[in-house]
Every structure is written in structure tokens, then in C-alpha cells.
Amino acid sequence: MTACSDRTTIETFPPHHRVHPLEHGVFLPHGPHDGPAFTAMIGAAPQWMLLFRDWTHETPPLGALDAVRAQGATPVLTWEPWYAPPMDTAPADAAHQPAFALARMPAGDHDHRIGTWAAALASWGHDVVLRFAHEMNGDWYPWGTGVQGNTADQYVRAWRYVHDRFAAAGAANVRWCWAPNIPASGADAEGAQLADFFPGEDVVDVLGIDGYNWGSPEPPLSWTTPAELFDSGLAELRGLGTRLPIVVTETASAEGRAPEHSKADWISQLFDYLTRQGDVRGVIWFHEDKERDWRVDSSATARTAYRRAVAKLR
């Protein structure tokens, strides 16, 4: 672990006193080259930009990372240890990929790919936030809890193993983001708390959390306010006792299906809510029409609300 011991750490924030304005970011489905158009639409350049790569990619997307940096944003590279199926053809058992069960990483099965990525990012040399194996407390990925026999202990061992390989490669420019999904009623289906999956403050630089307002009429994907969505998860992250900065690494809202459910209002509430959370450094909006139309501009009112919310952060 010595290679990363002298890295520059991301500034910590006190829980309920904001030192700097909340920062905003975005995931763009066609990549960072759409950043200027997004900036023009919302009236401000994103300060964080989220990328995704699965393990079909033998090397990191250095060109895309350069494009993010050229726009003045911090790249957050989500590194997913699986072969992600196309959304329109994904089988029901897509998470069943035995080659990517958590136990296979410490066993050395993926050392070549891990080493290749570590060496490439170390050689690239610029700061990048690596969000490895996110949403581990869900059951929709091969590394998820209860999937393929995975346990929270195995997740911790896999994380620390991969981190050690990067440290050995001298990748001190990599900042590690541990990002669970919002907890379901405080615990996942296997009864584990977020703390059970936490690899340790010595191998994590940023705490992430993902959560969406799905907007369905009925639970569990019902209309959910920002406070209802994030209160319990933020409490569990703070309960780790680390004082690491927190970033909402994925969020968005569907358009409401009832008159009292306004996506524009939800956007305003989200930014107001997160601004009051002093240890939440940033929020990244998932700007894609996917399971729902999550885009900022799914309606004119939503777009206007987002522009106003971002303008207030300055």
C-alpha cells in the first residue's frame, strides 16, 4: 500500500457546514464530447463527468479522460468487472457471469487486465476518480451481494486486492470512489449494512452513493423526495466515521405521473437538500433516456428548473 500513501487527498468536508458551493456533474451517454452542448443547455460547465467501462475494454479510455479534463471537469470513471450486455438484449440472468464472481479477483484470474489498467492510468498521470464495482449492495451485477455466492467479506477482499495492484503499479493519481446504492430500508436483502461492504478508509478516497426517483405510482419504485431517497444512506455513510467527502455519483428523476409530482420541483428540492449537506461535495445527474427519461431536458420545465438550480450554486 506504500505507493499510494503519499497521494494528495481530496479535501474533507464537515457534515453540516458547507465550506464551498455544491458542485454539479453529469453522465452523458455519448461521452464527454457532448459536454459543450450540455453546458450550453444548462448554462454552466459540469465540474464532474461520469464515464462507464466494463471489462470488455482491455485499456482505460485515456482519450475520453483527456476530453473531460479539457473541459475543466473531474473524471469519474466507473470500472465494472463484467461483460455488460446491451440494454435492449440483456437476459434476465445477466448478473450470472461466473468468471466475475468476487472470489475470482483475489484468485488472480484477472491480474492481466487489472495490471494493464493500473499501468496505463499510472503512466497517464492525471487525477482520476475510479469508481470500482459500484452498487455492490444490490443484486443486479455479478459482484453484487448474494449473486453467485458473493459475500460482503469477499467484496472487501476483492477491492483491497485490486487496490493493491494499482498501488504496486505506482498509480498514485487514482482516487478510489466506493459507491453503494441507497440502502433498502437500511439493509439489503441479505441483511448487510453498508458498513459491511466498506473496504477501509486507507483504500477509499471518496464515498459515493446512487439513488433515483423512479416515479411509479406504486412502491417500491414510487415517487420519492430527495430527503426520503438519501437520508438513510447518508446517515450510514457518516456512520462509517471517516469524514471522507461524499459525492452523489448517480441520481435523476422521472417525470411525475400525478399532478402533485413535478420533476421540476424535485430538481429544485434535490439541490436545496444537498446544499444543506455540508459533507456532500457534488452531485452527478444521469442524463439519459433509459429505464425512465432521466434527462435534464425531458421537459421544458425540468430544464428550466435545472438551469436555475445550477445557477444558484455559484
CATH among 1.10.4190.10, 3.20.20.80, 2.40.10.10, 3.30.750.24 for 2-85+96-311 = 3.20.20.80
Residue 1 predicted with pLDDT over 50: no
Distance (Å, whole) CA 313 – CA 299: 22
Mean pLDDT of the chain: 92
C-alpha cell at 263: 420533476
Residue 245 predicted with pLDDT over 60: yes
Report, as an integer, the average pLDDT of 47-69: 98
Report, as an integer, the average pLDDT of 251-256: 96
- H-helix or E-strand spanning residue 212: strand 206-213
Domain ranges of the chain: 2-85+96-311
Report, as an integer, the average pLDDT of 196-215: 97
What percentage of the chain has pLDDT greater than the value 90? 84
Q: List all residues 6 or more positions away from 175 whose beta carbon is below 8 Å from its beta carbon.
A: 7, 10, 127, 128, 129, 130, 205, 206
Q: What is the pLDDT of residues 264-282, one digit of tens each?
A: 999 999 999 999 999 999 9
Report, as an integer, the average pLDDT of 88-101: 88
Predicted confidence at residue 6, as pLDDT, reads 44
Q: For residue 165, which of 223, 221, 120 has the smallest C-alpha distance?
A: 120
What percentage of the chain has pLDDT greater than the value 70? 93
